[in-house]
Structure 1
Amino acid sequence: MFVIDYIVSMGASVMMPLIFILLGLLLRLSIAKSIKAGLMAGIGFIGLSITVNLMIDSLTPVSHAIVERFGLNLTVLDMGWPAAAAVAMGTRVGALVIPVCVAINILMLYTKTTRILNVDIWNLWHHAFTGSLVAIITNNLWLGVLAAGLNCIVTIVIADRTTADVEKYLNLPGISVPHGFSASFVPAAWLVNAFVDRVPGVRDIKIDTEVIQKRLSILGDPACLGAIIGAILAIIAGVDVKAILQTAITMAAVMTIIPRMAKMLMEGVYPISERIQEIAQSRAGSFGKISIGLDSAVSVGHPVTLSVSMLMIPIMLVLAAIIPGNQFLPFASLTGLPFAFVLVTAVCRGDMFRTLLTGMLTLSLALLIGTSLAPLVTSTAVSTGFSLPHGATSISSVDYAGAMLPWVIIQGFYFKAFGVGLLILCTLLLAVWNRKKILHENQLSAQTDAAGIEAGE
């Protein structure tokens, strides 16, 4: 535990290069290639972190001004994901979550219930968050660990089922996103897609970057789109001209820099990914095509993801004011919304209209879920020694206390043996279903490769 805590305390920007260097060496890449892969992954991740923090620093005063302008007076304070992560990793479940989830990932690879090798170790805090809340309500550490494990399995399966969309629509070949927060919004995106596809007229609405470039050429450029949306947000906030211009330029920079940093990170990922595929093929397809599981930060810079995220800031504040029963005041989590829409953008095939519909549905639910879990989140935070902000009596967050997946798992544990048994059964059935899909896809891939060889001959 001391070793694990020490490594985690170094932060994701140090963990990621170390993990990739170690992976490269274990996969028998040369020392030089392993170090280069690790460094490029680390540099790209640091670049992403700096740019995302720049966005947060710029949008935080704007979000605060919008909150004040709307005059919202709600009782549950938004503590944001950094505080939620600190609470999750500060519990006994948090101390065990990394070895448990790594073991689950390895077991799922060998049982062919996944094709993802998850190296996004830091974001396992999402599973620890669910497990920590369950440990509080059951007063049982091992039930908390079980809840974290179930959360981990479901997240990996969702990431598996979205890998093709991530490759096609986010242009990230060989990459999956087993990020708890991002994955939690995928089922809603599937439902929105299914609904829209069945509504004549509505199903023909399509607003992607290609459409925007054709009809509104200036909006098709990420920099221009970022500047316009940033300026609109600042105008809604009622800030002065100087702040409007600063926000516009910063958002233009963010939407331009993030994709380039993601590309740099991918330079470190590709050698590892290619080597894994070589090993998988040398074993007669025993594993099939394996994807590297990364933080959703690799694609927060997609124009649709960032645009919808920024548009949802004022929309979510309006929703907070009008939804009956809501007591959750979104604030600290608003600038982290891009992480919610990474996989939604992929599942919605890069369509802004469907992604925005999904956002309105999921974030409306997030407000109610955040309100519902606030007493449990508050008691868990207090038990870890977390100091509540001055004047606050109840806290929550969109990430991860406003997500649907942890809420469903936690509700299951309230029903004791019956609920826990049902959760375990559903999770195992989901894993078996994913295995069947994987075997079928491997078979189709093998047939396609064989047909290609015959055509070549």
Structure 2
Amino acid sequence: MGVLQYLIDLGPSVMLPIIIFVFGLILKSKPSSAFRAGLTVGIGFIGINLVIGLLMDSLGPAAKDMVQRLGIHLSVIDVGWPATAAVSFGSTVGSLAIPIGLAVNLVFLIFGLTKTLNVDLWNLWHVAFTGALVSIMTNSFSLGVLTSIVHTIVILVLSDLTAKHVEKYYGYPNVAFPHGTSTPYYLFALPLEKLFNVMPGIKNWKADPEAIQKRLGIFGESIVLGLILGVIIGILAGWSAKDIMQLGVKTAAVMLLLPRVVAVLMEGLMPISEAAGEFVKKRFPDRELYIGMDSALAVGHPAVIASSLILIPVALGLAVLIPGNKVLPFGDLATIPFMICLMVPIFKGNVVRTVIAGAISLAFGLLIATYVSPYFTQAAKNVGFPFPEGANAISSLVDGAVPTTAIFIFAAKLGYVGIIAIGVISVLVAIYQRKKDKQNAQAHLDENISA
């Protein structure tokens, strides 16, 4: 357990290069190529974190001042994902998340129930989170462990389902996002897309970044759009002209820099992705493999960032207007891109649809985060987490407001039966998906032969 904790403490920017290097050696890559790939991935991840850090450091004070200016007083503080991850991994159940995630992933790969090899072990804290909450709620360690196992299965299944969308929209072949925050919103986006397609007005409204730029000219360019949205947020925060302009330039910088540092990470990942494809093709001709990565690879897309910036004041407004909500959005306002990045491909980059869907998600999410806050607060107390000044209860949007959190919490009220039912449904979906893939592959083969 001490070794696992040491790996966790290294953080993703160190742990991920090590995993990529080892994985490259297993795939018979040259040691020098595997080392270079791993190091480049680590550098890219640091670059992503630096740019996201710039966004959080810029928007955090703006959000705080917006809250004070609007006179919002809510009793549960959103402490943000870094604190949530620390609490999750620090729990008794959470400490087992990485070995659970590795074991489940290996078993599913062996039996052909998943195509995703999840190398993003750091983000198994999402699995640790639900396991810890269920364990506290039910006072059952074993039920918490079972929840972590089933949650891992759910993430792998959703990762496989979303991989083709990731490739088609973001242009990342053989890459999937087994991310506990991002994947559940994909299922939420599917029915909304069908609804939007029949709604008068919205169904014909093209609002992807390309259409916006074509319609607005220079004002629709991603960096100018970032500037405008940053200025609007600064005005809502009541800042001075100097601070407003600085915030605008910083948000413009994020719009420009984030896609470029993502490209660095992909530069390191692509040789490993290609080697993985060749490795699987030789040994398992009828199968393909996705490398599971952090959805941070997607958050730099202009449609994701633009929608997220619009949703920040929307989230604060919803916090006041939603009856029964007690959560004050704060720490996770800058991580809204992770909540919507797998919705954007379903809406084909349509910013209007993404904002509407994001607002609906946040509205329900705030109620979920409010409901789980007593369990979250207890988990934090169990690991000695230092509460923010004046806060007696805490929660988060990532992962406190995520649909899967609500599903597992309510399923746990039925005990083992409820959690096992989710696992059985997920396995059946995986089996159905594999069968469907084989049928599609056979149909494609028959088509080529007849041609």
2:422 matched to which residue of 1? 423
Q: Return the offset for 1:275.
A: 0.7
Q: Quick check: 1:84 aligned with 2:81? A: no
Hey, what's the Cα distance between the residues in 2 that align with 1:307 and 1:4? Answer: 38
Q: Return the offset for 1:384.
A: 1.6
Q: Return the offset for 1:264.
A: 0.6
Q: Quick check: 1:336 aligned with 2:335? A: yes
Deviates more, 1:20-29 or 1:216-225: 216-225
Question: Sequence identity, in percent?
Answer: 40
TM superposition score normalised by structure 1: 0.95
In the TM superposition, 1:372-451 aligns within 5 A as 372-444=371-443, 446-447=445-446, 450-451=448-449
Hey, what's the Cα distance between the residues in 1 that align with 2:443 and 2:67? Answer: 52
**Residue identity in the other structure for 2:350:** D
Q: Return the offset for 1:58.
A: 0.8
8 Å Cα contact 2:373/2:394 also seen in 1: yes
8 Å Cα contact 2:343/2:354 also seen in 1: yes
Hey, what's the Cα distance between the residues in 1 that align with 2:145 and 2:265? Answer: 32
Hey, what's the Cα distance between the residues in 1 that align with 2:337 and 2:234? Answer: 18
Query: Which digits, 9 at most, give the CA deviation of each residue in 1:366-423, with x for residues without a partner?
Result: 1100111111111111112212222211110000011111210111111224423432
8 Å Cα contact 2:231/2:244 also seen in 1: yes
Q: Return the offset for 1:285.
A: 1.8
Q: Quick check: 1:30 aligned with 2:20? A: no
Q: Return the offset for 1:175.
A: 1.1
2:109 matched to which residue of 1? 109
Hey, what's the Cα distance between the residues in 2 that align with 1:12 and 1:77? Answer: 26
Question: SS where residue 400 of structure 2 aligns?
Answer: coil
**Residue identity in the other structure for 2:230:** G
Q: Return the offset for 1:155.
A: 1.4
Hey, what's the Cα distance between the residues in 2 that align with 1:104 and 1:444? Answer: 31
8 Å Cα contact 2:109/2:115 also seen in 1: yes
In the TM superposition, 1:56-75 aligns within 5 A as 56-75=56-75
8 Å Cα contact 2:209/2:222 also seen in 1: no
TM superposition score normalised by structure 2: 0.97
Question: SS where residue 372 of structure 2 aligns?
Answer: helix
Hey, what's the Cα distance between the residues in 1 that align with 2:434 and 2:30? Answer: 33
Hey, what's the Cα distance between the residues in 2 that align with 1:354 and 1:119? Answer: 32
Hey, what's the Cα distance between the residues in 2 that align with 1:32 and 1:445? Answer: 38
In the TM superposition, 1:266-305 aligns within 5 A as 266-286=266-286, 288-305=287-304
Hey, what's the Cα distance between the residues in 1 that align with 2:101 and 2:262? Answer: 26
Question: SS where residue 291 of structure 2 aligns?
Answer: strand
Deviates more, 1:416-425 or 1:91-100: 416-425
Distance 1:172 1:250, change over 3 A: same
8 Å Cα contact 2:154/2:423 also seen in 1: no
In the TM superposition, 1:3-14 aligns within 5 A as 3-14=3-14
Hey, what's the Cα distance between the residues in 1 that align with 2:268 and 2:440? Answer: 27
Deviates more, 1:136-145 or 1:43-52: 136-145
Unaligned runs of 5+ in 1: none
2:312 matched to which residue of 1? 313
2:250 matched to which residue of 1? 250
8 Å Cα contact 2:196/2:203 also seen in 1: yes
Hey, what's the Cα distance between the residues in 2 that align with 1:75 and 1:438? Answer: 49
Hey, what's the Cα distance between the residues in 1 that align with 2:285 and 2:347? Answer: 31
Hey, what's the Cα distance between the residues in 2 that align with 1:142 and 1:437? Answer: 34
8 Å Cα contact 1:13/1:45 also seen in 2: yes
**Residue identity in the other structure for 1:83:** A
1:176 matched to which residue of 2? 176
Hey, what's the Cα distance between the residues in 2 that align with 1:213 and 1:380? Answer: 46
Hey, what's the Cα distance between the residues in 1 that align with 2:234 and 2:442? Answer: 53
Query: Which digits, 9 at most, give the CA deviation of each residue in 1:13-63, with x for residues without a partner?
Result: 001111111111111100111011011101111000011001111111111
The CA RMSD measured in Å over matched residues stands at: 1.5
8 Å Cα contact 1:151/1:406 also seen in 2: no
**Residue identity in the other structure for 2:345:** A
**Residue identity in the other structure for 1:438:** D
Hey, what's the Cα distance between the residues in 2 that align with 1:441 and 1:44? Answer: 36
Deviates more, 1:141-150 or 1:219-228: 219-228
8 Å Cα contact 1:192/1:357 also seen in 2: no
In the TM superposition, 1:330-369 aligns within 5 A as 330-369=329-368
Unaligned runs of 5+ in 2: none
8 Å Cα contact 1:113/1:438 also seen in 2: no
**Residue identity in the other structure for 2:292:** G
1:188 matched to which residue of 2? 188
1:52 matched to which residue of 2? 52
Query: Which digits, 9 at most, give the CA deviation of each residue in 1:300-359, with x for residues without a partner?
Result: 110010011110111111111111111111111101111111111122221112211210
**Residue identity in the other structure for 1:381:** A
Deviates more, 1:125-134 or 1:91-100: 91-100
**Residue identity in the other structure for 2:429:** L
2:149 matched to which residue of 1? 149
Hey, what's the Cα distance between the residues in 2 that align with 1:260 and 1:417? Answer: 46
Q: Return the offset for 1:447.
A: 4.8
**Residue identity in the other structure for 1:102:** L
Q: Return the offset for 1:237.
A: 1.2
Q: Return the offset for 1:222.
A: 1.8
Q: Return the offset for 1:110.
A: 2.0
**Residue identity in the other structure for 1:176:** A
Hey, what's the Cα distance between the residues in 2 that align with 1:351 and 1:27? Answer: 39
Query: Which digits, 9 at most, give the CA deviation of each residue in 1:144-194, with x for residues without a partner?
Result: 111011111111211211111111111222211111001121111112112
Question: SS where residue 181 of structure 2 aligns?
Answer: helix
Question: SS where residue 117 of structure 2 aligns?
Answer: strand
**Residue identity in the other structure for 1:259:** P
Query: Which digits, 9 at most, give the CA deviation of each residue in 1:283-310, with x for residues without a partner?
Result: 2524x22111110111111001001111
Distance 1:6 1:193, change over 3 A: same
Distance 1:109 1:421, change over 3 A: closer
Distance 1:231 1:111, change over 3 A: same
Question: SS where residue 113 of structure 1 aligns?
Answer: coil
